[in-house]
Amino acid sequence: MNAITRKQILKSSVCIFLFLIFMSCHDGNPKSFTEELSLENVDLKYDYDGVDVLTTDVQFDVEGKGKDYKYTSPSNDQTFASNIPENLKIIKTASTRYKVKNIAQALTDIKQMMYVQGGYISELRYDKNYNEKKNRFTIKIPKENFDTVLDGIQKFAEETDYVNISTTDVTEKYMDAQTRLQTKIEVKERLEAVLRKNAKTVKDILATENQLRVIQEEIEVVQGKLKYMSSRVAFSTIQVEIYETIEYKEQPVAYKKGFGAKAKEALLGGWHFIQSLFIGILSIWPIILLAIVGIIFFRRWRKGRK
């Protein structure tokens, strides 16, 4: 009995001892949980392919740790200016229509303002009908003066029918073209180095020069695209239509033909008919010839039977 009691006491003591060791190990590393939490926050913060997100700091207390921990969340008040490229390639265009009091004076005023702002007219068309005069023209203006010119045109108008503004972002296309251009230039430089150092025979020289010619043509094509996009970006386009209403005037009564004119037209019409008929007969002469031959044979056949 005493032996059994001793065994039970020994087992209980061992269990209590192991439990105390486990608790002391857990309490001796109080930072394990908080460090994992901190690392998770860091991973979440930078889990956007290296994009540095603007954030605001919020302090909160982790229960039982007695210390403030910093949490980052996206700001609603700040813009992500650091992620926007500095040199955006934006093509701006506008289509407008205005009613003016005097179309000639309005066009003169618009031209003067446009020239002051560094613009020019690339196309101009004038039109007039029974109730209004119209001028349609296209203005090319430096992009920084786009809004100034657009607002200035409205000052010369009595009424604004519509103003439509559109923008096209070609930044990606422009940067892609620049990258391809740089790559082609590097290839050209390597080919030139090969031509200077390694090309010994006439065959090697001709082959290398042919490759250089092809790559040079490709470079010029890409340069042309870049130049075109740069010009479109540098100069915005404003399509303007101005019109002036005029007093309505009735159209003159159509001219009525007399008997002599009608008789002359009838004679001419008959003569034209005869000409057309004669030409039509000439065009079917094979059929007429076959018909005549057929009639002749038919008559001979009838006479033979009699």
Using CA atoms, how far residue 218 sits from 66, 133, 195, 214, in Å, is 67, 48, 19, 6
CB 118 within 8 A of CB 145: yes
CB 128 within 8 A of CB 103: no
Highest-confidence segment of 2-16, 220-234, 240-254, 255-269: 220-234
Q: What is the pLDDT of residues 71-122, one digit of tens each?
A: 333 333 333 333 435 578 889 999 999 999 999 999 999 999 999 999 999 8
Q: What is the pLDDT of residues 221-232, one digit of tens each?
A: 999 999 998 888
Task: Please name the residue ranges forming H helices in 103-170.
Answer: 103-116, 146-155
DSSP state of 200: -
Q: What is the pLDDT of residues 22-69, one digit of tens each?
A: 555 544 444 443 333 333 333 333 333 333 333 333 333 333 334 343
CB 171 within 8 A of CB 88: yes
CB 204 within 8 A of CB 103: no
